[in-house]
Chain A
Amino acid sequence: MNAEAPLLSVKDYSLEFRTRSGTVHALEDVSIEVARGETVGIVGESGSGKSVLSFGILRILDAAADVRAGAISFAGMDMLAAKESALQQVRGREIAMIFQNPRTALNPIRKIGRQIEDVLRTHTSTLQADLKKKAIECLAQVRITDPERRYSAYPFELSGGQCQRVMIALALACNPSLLIADEPTTGLDVTTQAAIMELVSELARERSMATILITHDLALASEYCDRIVVMHAGHVVESAPTARLFERPRHPYTARLIASTPSPEVEIDSLASIPGNLPDLRRNDLPKCRFHARCDRAVAQCTVGPLPEATFEPGHRVRCFNPLAYTAP
């Protein structure tokens, strides 16, 4: 991480959802920093709060969400204090987002070209007469074949991969400085996945755009990310540069995740699953460390004391009472 102020900084962010069956403690003391041009992966199993965090950053949360504490600043702007009108200026122009299930993430009864035009009209001063040309350019940038014709296509006429390309075109139309990609390849077949990821990382490099890649696939994150943030049950448990994280994971959960990730060198039998499930986040007596019940390194303190944060090297932070130790090389 460089010395200048990060592009995005989330500090001690806590979020709850009030539901009929109780309060869901969705995020607690989450801190994340993203520098300009950097690609950060947020990894964790389903329900760990990755998507909620990204919605929280953009402030497009459900009405039942309640921000309890923390601060989010983006390029010097206080996102939590900002007015809705100011947020609308940031969304789509400075921070853009692509989603999983691209097919349902696009308006089903509006031509895709028109949907891109809507974004352009909102955020740029493009003349009415040039809008269509500009939208077609956006489509061409994400390498959609025959963009002039695709301009008037509806999402249902396109394949899943093409829809995700349209989504990317829509998100990048205004040259944002941060792209949040929420499981962008879920539901696509493997070759399409690779093509989409290549496209995203290439476009991000070209524009020196920062990217947050949200995924449950550690292998995918390791391929494209400079840094990886591991989340578990609404906590950030570890964050480190990618190589470092794989070499010397400090949090037991990270170590388990790595051990359960398939790769060509590892035999399928030696893959270890992580026992247990995420704790019920509606509980009011959640242990300090939410991984404690599934952890083989748990100690007595895990349920009581405040969760410590240890920094092992610059940029490698762990929140654990009993992190893995390595002898000096």
Chain B
Amino acid sequence: MLKMILRRLAGAIPNIVGVVIVTFLLTRALPGDPAAYFAGPSATTEAIEQIRAQLGLDKSLPHQFVLYLKELASGDLGNSLSTGQPVLAEIRTRLPASLELTLCGLVLACVTAIPLGVLAATRPGSWIDHLCRMLATAGVSLPTFFTGLLLAYVCYFLLGISPSPVGRLDVSFPAPATVTGLYLVDSLIARDMETFRAAAAQLILPAATLGLFVMAPLMRMTRASMLGVLSSDFIRTARASGLSGTKVLYTYAFRNALLPIVTTLGMVFSFLLGSNVLVEKVFAWPGIGSYVIEALVSSDYAPVQGFVLTMALVYVMLNLAIDVMYGVIDPRVGIEG
């Protein structure tokens, strides 16, 4: 097992190298001139050239790449042009925010979508099946910024049951001491239940918004996968052996149906992490998505490069985790993979 993990990590190195090269080239190919952008609209040509030299943009592309690699090797992702902050520090605070949001959204989606999908599969054509189909259709067809706004309007403005939907924590609370960067976990480590409750209250609306969106593919996949497994030969054997309904459903059918569900989960997770910008914007969530969108708009290439590199690493880890899960669920998936 450990050997497999190490080998997979080693196998990911070429991918990472490729990502470094491609993002470097792509960010240089972005339209717009960062030097002109930062010199301001009234700057003279000289001032622009001066800034260009400062940023190292006057050097040849290979030269710039070598400089970039040198910085990267020393753990420096460069500084953001617009904020002047080191990119690494920004990502370090913003990635956990996005992670926390995405994970909570996924957990919410899982605890609702998987049981509903199983129910729908065991009773195809019943009202619960139709309800699931309706929920799934609504979940994908309503854009997240709309559900987000709707939830904020109803829960905050109309009912007043949730705190003002801005940021990760109400201003009256200090952020918990950083251990993992996830406020929920950190406040638990600090045994600060009030902060935990406050962080959870801020989190619930954006997480529900995401969860609603993710529910649809998850529920459909659970239903389809369960239906397929339930009609297979070994389920008939299990029933012919007189095993109880719950035993057949959970020990025999559900475990076999898990593989495609785990695959879908991995896919939506990686998709969400980088692309829930709209939700982050609606709830003023200081996540990595909104950070990189701002950087992209202003041709601020260092954050973009840092972001893509971070995401590539996250993907590698995620895929590895999913492969390990496959191996745990299904003995036929060779551990050597």
Which bucket holds chain A's interface residue count?
Answer: 20 to 34
- How many angstroms between the C-alpha atoms of A154 and B238 in the bound complex? 16
Q: Is the CB of B240 within 8 A of A101?
A: no
Distance (whole angstroms) from the CB of B228 to the closest CB of chain A = 13
Knowing A109-B255, A109-B331, say if A104 contacts B232 (CB, 8 Å). Answer: yes
B residues in contact (CB < 8 Å) with A: 232-234, 236-245, 247, 251-252, 255-256, 329-332
Instruction: Say yes or no for A213: interface residue by CB 8 A criterion.
Output: no
Q: Is the CB of A109 within 8 A of B329?
A: yes
Distance (whole angstroms) from the CB of A168 to the closest CB of chain B = 12
Q: Is the CB of B331 within 8 A of A154?
A: yes
> Inter-chain contact count A-B, CB under 8 Å?
79
Q: Is the CB of A107 within 8 A of B234?
A: yes
* Contact with B233, one of A101, A109, A154 (Cβ below 8 angstroms): A101
Q: Is the CB of A122 within 8 A of B236?
A: no
Query: Could you say which of A60, A93, A97, A109 has the most chain B C-beta atoms within 10 Å of its C-beta?
Result: A109
Q: Is the CB of A122 within 8 A of B331?
A: no
A residues in contact (CB < 8 Å) with B: 55, 58, 60, 84, 87-93, 96-97, 99, 101, 104-110, 118-119, 122-123, 154, 156, 167, 170-171
Distance (whole angstroms) from the CB of A235 to the closest CB of chain B = 25
Please name all residues of chain A whose beta carbon is closer than 8 Å to the beta carbon of B233 when the two chains form the complex.
99, 101, 104-105
Please name all residues of chain B whose beta carbon is closer than 8 Å to the beta carbon of A107 when the two chains form the complex.
234, 237-238, 252, 256
Please report whether the interface of chain B is mostly helix, strand, loop or mixed according to DSSP. Answer: helix
Distance (whole angstroms) from the CB of B8 to the closest CB of chain A = 22
Please name all residues of chain B whose beta carbon is closer than 8 Å to the beta carbon of A84 when the two chains form the complex.
245
- How many angstroms between the C-alpha atoms of A274 and B157 in the bound complex? 79
Q: Is the CB of B332 within 8 A of A118?
A: no
Please name all residues of chain B whose beta carbon is closer than 8 Å to the beta carbon of A88 when the two chains form the complex.
242-244
Residue of B nearest to A156 (CB): B332
Residue of B nearest to A157 (CB): B331
Knowing A108-B256, A109-B329, A154-B331, say if A118 contacts B241 (CB, 8 Å). Answer: yes
Q: Is the CB of A106 within 8 A of B237?
A: yes
Query: Could you say which of A105, A107, A171 has the most chain B C-beta atoms within 10 Å of its C-beta?
Result: A107
Please name all residues of chain B whose beta carbon is closer than 8 Å to the beta carbon of A171 when the two chains form the complex.
241
Please name all residues of chain A whose beta carbon is closer than 8 Å to the beta carbon of B238 when the two chains form the complex.
107, 118
Please name all residues of chain B whose beta carbon is closer than 8 Å to the beta carbon of A93 when the two chains form the complex.
242
Knowing A118-B251, A154-B331, A156-B332, say if A105 contacts B243 (CB, 8 Å). Answer: no
Please name all residues of chain A whose beta carbon is closer than 8 Å to the beta carbon of B241 when the two chains form the complex.
91-92, 96, 118-119, 122, 170-171
Please name all residues of chain A whose beta carbon is closer than 8 Å to the beta carbon of B234 when the two chains form the complex.
104-108
